[in-house]
Amino acid sequence: MAHWSENCNRLSLTTISLGDLDTLEPTEGGEGSVYLFCLPPSLSDNAATLSTTGFNLIAHFCAKLPANAVVCVLATPPSAARLLPILERSLKYQLWVAVKSVASSNTPPEGSLPQNHSALLVLTRYSGALQHTKTRIKYTYCPACKKTTKDYGGKKHIYHEYGTLMSDVWRDIECDPAHDIEAITDRLRDVFGVAPYKHLKVLDLRESLAFSFTENVETVRRKEQPQASASALESRLLNADCLEALKALPDNSIDFCFTDPPYNLQKKYDKWDDSLESIAYFEWCDAWLAELYRVLKPNCTLAVLNIPLWAVRHYQKLATLMQFQSWIVWEALGLPVRMIMPSHYALLCFSKGEPRPLPGLTNVGTPHEKTYLQPLGEGFCVRASCETGRRQVGISDTAELGDIWADIHRLKHNSRRVDHPCQLPPHLLRRLFALFTKPNEIVLDCFNGAGTSTLVAVQMNRRYIGIEHSEQYHNLALQRHYQYECGQDPFEKTESVPQAKNSRVPRMPTQKYLVSKKQLQLEVRRIAKQVGRLPTKEDVKAHSAYSLEYFEKYFSSWGEVCAAARTTGMSELPTSQLSLDVF
């Protein structure tokens, strides 16, 4: 088992196969139960449009469950996206977990991205935070250098010796949704092994008549008639409102639309109000999605990046216009802000009519571009010394590209950032453009920000249109494009510290440390063992030889001061011992 759940009382397991959903009713003893619905893994997007009756029966069952019930649903991403809004009538959404799955028995069409994951929805009848155990995923170790897959650098003392907190992307286990889901039930039995839960009830709907279709699902596909393309557009950066600028573009003129919109999560942008009412926010989103559909060429792709819950809402709009292609899971590096770390960003891909074979998978593009489509193989680390060593001895460390992208991390260091609160890593755009476009085709980003996507486009010999409402960010993009034209790398490291900030944690001023932060945190761990609890400032004053001023000046919060005292510390090398001496 690849996980460890603290203070867990493992749930019992009952599996019920249901052929007829009409007889589905809650049974006695449901007060202590977690439910897992297993939907047919072959339920495609086109078939899912016909499954409203089955989805409504599931929702009817869930509405009758006790007030403390937990409901999980294992499904394909299209099925989950169509079912979730129906379930939200009586349940509260908690998580969309991406679970690695074995390849489908159906070979994907040539030139299409394989589907390598299933969606695991987690919802509750109660409205508060999800009740579950603190679950850690065991460290993995690089087969080449034998060290942890992730390089924890100088922060090993603030991590647990067993592993990191579980995230909402489960790549450490693998299921076969058609035949064997034991890895998922094993995890759920431990994750929810807290009072009042005692049972995990699996309701197997994989053979249910409610999801059997006799009609030809091809008839529900949206066909797009070929149309004459507009004359070739030239590359340009526009400082304008996205809707006004989009309306000025010709129909069927863009080869690839990419958008990373404001997420309405109260980020501090220059011009945009990122805290709109939900109805207003999605009405605005629907407007620019419709415009992107209009300007996109037939058979080409629109990709929208967002958090899973908002991606579901985008799905509802796009499914009325376009054909679903892929739900790509971008596992960005998560921060431990909750007991289940949020790492899953959804790249929702729809085509205008039948999708063309993906250029990156059909021998289009330069050999260098092909490297963007070769993700790091499972289990290899990203240490530069190890990467060099693997190349020298001829170790193959790449894998086939699927729909889980875990080898591209968010920009963490200020040296790689500019004055914009939400910057994407260039490698994410390089992979997208290499996969979905050909050289000299035109890409559109209607939220261009500081210009990452348009800069990648020009580097990769693509034409571009970048639209940005903020004059400040538009000017920054112009400056970076000019820097590129002068022969400089716009993504190189810099010495300047950006003023814009995404995290709510205050940025500490540049200063000289008379005592290292690690040394101070280990001192607090020593005091914690001495006093038998997490120390207060008074405890540090009484028991430390270091001045309290260091602790107050060098850290953003007292919680950061106590980070090492809350855990055991870890080693880059495998250990067989597990200590529970933490606070």
Percentages helix, strand, coil for the chain (3-state, rounded to 5) are 30, 20, 50
Q: How far is CA 276 from CA 92, 279, 282, in A?
A: 21, 8, 9
Asked if 307 and 207 sit in the same domain, the reply is: no
Asked if 237 and 305 sit in the same domain, the reply is: yes
Q: In what order do the strands lie in the sheet with 163-165?
A: 3-5, 135-138, 163-165
Decide if 352 contacts 298 (C-beta within 8 A).
yes
Residue 398 lies in a domain: yes
Residue 495 lies in a domain: no
Residue 331 lies in a domain: yes
Report pLDDT for 212.
61
583 residues of the chain, pLDDT tens digit each:
589 999 999 999 999 888 777 777 776 656 789 999 999 887 666 655 656 778 888 999 999 999 999 999 999 999 999 999 999 999 999 999 999 998 655 677 788 999 999 999 999 999 999 999 999 999 989 999 988 888 787 888 998 889 989 999 999 999 999 889 999 999 999 999 999 999 999 999 888 766 665 444 444 456 666 665 666 799 999 999 999 999 999 999 999 999 999 877 655 544 444 455 678 888 999 999 999 999 999 999 999 999 999 999 999 999 999 999 999 999 986 555 567 888 899 999 999 999 999 999 987 667 788 899 999 998 898 888 999 999 999 999 999 999 999 999 876 655 455 654 567 899 999 999 999 999 999 999 999 988 999 999 999 999 999 999 989 889 989 998 999 999 988 877 665 655 655 555 566 677 889 999 999 999 999 999 999 999 999 999 999 999 999 999 999 899 999 999 999 988 777 654 444 444 3
Residue with tokens 């579901």, as numbered in its chain: 312
Residue 269 lies in a domain: yes
What total number of domains does the chain contain? Answer: 3
Asked if 124 and 236 sit in the same domain, the reply is: no
Decide if 95 contacts 74 (C-beta within 8 A).
no
207: nearest Cα among 40, 80, 51:
40
Residue 449 lies in a domain: yes
Select from 178, 212, 246 the last residue of a domain.
212
Residue 497 lies in a domain: no
Asked if 302 and 199 sit in the same domain, the reply is: no
DSSP letter for each residue of 402-451: -SEE-S-PPP-SGGG--S-SS---HHHHHHHHHHH--TT-EEEESS-TTS
Asked if 194 and 279 sit in the same domain, the reply is: no
Tokens of 16: 């019920």
Backbone angles phi, psi at 327, to 5 degrees: -110, 100
Asked if 187 and 256 sit in the same domain, the reply is: no
Residue 103 domain boundaries: 3-212
| Rounded Cα–Cα distance for residues 238 and 130 (Å) | 44
Domain at 36, CATH number: 3.40.50
Strands 3-5 and 463-468, bridge-based pairing: unpaired
Asked if 286 and 315 sit in the same domain, the reply is: yes
Other CB atoms within a 10 A radius of the CB of residue 499 amount to: 9
Asked if 265 and 381 sit in the same domain, the reply is: yes
Report pLDDT for 46.
62
CA dihedral for 510, 512, 518, 523, sign (positive or negative): negative
Asked if 244 and 172 sit in the same domain, the reply is: no
Other CB atoms within a 10 A radius of the CB of residue 113 amount to: 20
Asked if 132 and 239 sit in the same domain, the reply is: no
Asked if 154 and 262 sit in the same domain, the reply is: no
Report pLDDT for 429.
95
Neighbouring residues of 443: CB distance < 8 A, sequence distance ≥ 6: 254, 255, 256, 257, 258, 433, 437, 453, 454, 457, 462, 463, 464, 465
Report pLDDT for 339.
79
Q: What are the E-state strand segments in 80-207?
A: 92-101, 117-124, 135-138, 163-165, 169-175, 199-204
Select from 212, 246, 277 the last residue of a domain.
212
Other CB atoms within a 10 A radius of the CB of residue 64 amount to: 13
Q: What angle do CA 292, 298, 304 make, to 5 degrees?
A: 35
Report pLDDT for 578.
41
Residue with tokens 């200063």, as numbered in its chain: 511
Report pLDDT for 264.
75
Q: What are the E-state strand segments in 9-167?
A: 12-17, 33-38, 70-75, 92-101, 117-124, 135-138, 163-165
| Rounded Cα–Cα distance for residues 12 and 3 (Å) | 18
Asked if 411 and 326 sit in the same domain, the reply is: yes
Report pLDDT for 491.
78
464: nearest Cα among 445, 482, 477:
445
Residue 217 lies in a domain: no
Report pLDDT for 516.
93
Q: What are the E-state strand segments in 126-234?
A: 135-138, 163-165, 169-175, 199-204
Residue 66 lies in a domain: yes
Q: Amino acid identity, residue 325?
A: Q
375: nearest Cα among 404, 403, 407:
407
